[in-house]
Structure 1
């Protein structure tokens, strides 16, 4: 069954990135951005811009009755996931597929528990350096969406999305081991997002030798070590793979946590260092770097 209708919830940097791209590839009536009435009024009045171009979106509230979506993309922050899960209810049909671009290793579990795992495809968004400030989003690198089943790629759901992404020229990659891929991205986020936030810097700061890069790699190493206890078994080669991705990002770009701190919004600290520290307790593993990051970011947030 061909994917025709797409609904997106969340208009942060990634929601705008994918929404703007799709708006140029499919009819406006087939792409819906789900948002509450207050946000829609703001978006309509102020506009939303992607690399200086105003986005042409169709907005719908969660309460509106609409034709079911073939694909629903979750692009909210982790703190808003539970509300987003409920907000997409009117968009779900028998053949709807969910794709989550959220950070971390648990969003698919939460969505699948609520609506059924038969609708879930596991996904990692990587390689993009999108930054959103107010209603302006900019990026140098579009990145790719990596997806697959929990194990394997040879299923009708994966083929439906792959065929659609080819049609709409969305860069993607299939992965037969998405859990390991998600842990790799989690390792990256734990190192990059938190280090750039603490150093109040940008990607350029962690791409050069120095204290920031050392802290980033040390925080990532703690995730690598924990992965062995969890049966994921990340390797030094995996760490280097993700470092190579970091080193290709735009120098002046900033990860989401740094953007949150600049805007004085509570960050995804619990998702990153919070998760690492708890896993450390579970397995009796050393997580001193992430404990320090947790302490410092918590103090920064308390000053808001």
Structure 2
């Protein structure tokens, strides 16, 4: 199996981050961005910039789609339901679907619509900051992915070859559920704290009440992961923060704070909302995530 044709839906921070190298390193006509006519006109008037370089994508409307080998879903969670329908004509019998949405629920939604096409995946380690159509990124991160049951199949190897050829750091995983929960822990901590306390990465690195609340929320994720049978170690939060935070752009910010500043709907339901629901299922209190859920909903209500 080889990936020769691909499509991307969603030109937010992650869509630009991964779409730009896919466009640059693939054969003409083999990669397209899925978008409605209104968005295509808007993108054409104001081209995307990635670290100051203009990106010129080929666009295809959902109605004019045809099957491709790989579909990369990079929309916000709030747009997933419409994306499920918009990619329908791009999914053929052997199409692989990869979702880089935050949270741990998008694969279930996509797999229900397109059973057997999903590889579970997570995008991690980037410090991308988007302002309008411009993306600035110092750390490009990577895509971790694999079969839900951990098997190293031929389609896993094919996606790895394709992403690597595009210049995207690719990591096939036999423990992708653990990787997804680790990313959820990061999002629950960094994204929600930056949004609720109005902080950049530099602010998140600074000891104080905000960082304390961030660590408490991350610990709640670790405890719930363990209750769900996912073996996140108890010091997973500290190890990740110590290893990664020093390399992030001090003036950059997680995507949820970018959403708040732009008065966009946030993914708080995918983060604190998920943790609160699972906490109730297991009878485990989640006070830190309760705090973030209420704080961010208040911010959204005041847009």
Q: TM-score, normalised by structure 1?
A: 0.96
Q: What is aligned with 2:249?
A: 250
- Counterpart-to-counterpart distance in 1, 2:239 and 2:111: 29
- Among 112, 120, 123, the alignment partner of 2:121 is 123
CA contact (8 A) 2:78 2:265 kept: no
| 8 Å Cα contact 1:127-1:246 kept in structure 2 | no
Corresponding residue number in structure 1 for 2:189: 191
Match of 1:206 in 2: 204
Residue aligning to 2:53: 53
1:132 to 130, 133, 152: 130
Q: When the two structures are aligned, how many residues end up with a matched partner?
A: 302
Higher deviation after alignment, 32-41 or 168-177: 168-177
**C-alpha distance in structure 1 between counterparts of 2:55 and 2:277, whole Å:** 41
Equivalent residue of 1:265, what SS? coil
* Alignment partners' CA distance in 1, 2:168 and 2:273: 33
Checking the alignment, whether the CA contact within 8 Å between 1:153 and 1:174 is kept in structure 2 is no
Q: Matched residues in 1 for 2:248 and 2:141: separation?
A: 9
**Aligned partners of 1:226, 1:155: CA distance in 2, in Å?**
29
TM-score scaled by structure 2?
Answer: 0.96
- CA distance in structure 2 between the partners assigned to 1:208 and 1:153 by the alignment: 41
Name the residue aligned to 1:228.
226
Contact kept? 1:203, 1:250, Cα under 8 Å: yes
Counterparts in 2 of 1:14 and 1:297: CA distance versus 1, 3 Å: same
Using the TM superposition, give the Cα deviation of residue 153 of structure 1 relative to its aligned residue in structure 2, in angstroms: 4.2
Residue in structure 1 matched with residue 78 of structure 2 by the alignment: 79
Matched, 1:15 2:25: no
Q: How does 1:139-154 map to 2 (within 5 A)?
A: 139-154=137-152
In the alignment, structure 1 segments of 5+ residues that lack a partner are none
**8 Å Cα contact 1:28/1:57 also seen in 2:** no
Gaps of 5+ in 2: none
Which is richer in strand?
2
C-alpha RMSD over aligned residues = 1.2
Q: CA deviation at 1:99?
A: 0.5
CA deviation after TM superposition for structure 1 residue 165, in Å: 2.1
Do residues 269 (structure 1) and 268 (structure 2) align?
yes
User: Counterparts of 1:113 and 1:298 in 2: how far apart (Å)?
Assistant: 29
1:172 aligned residue: 170
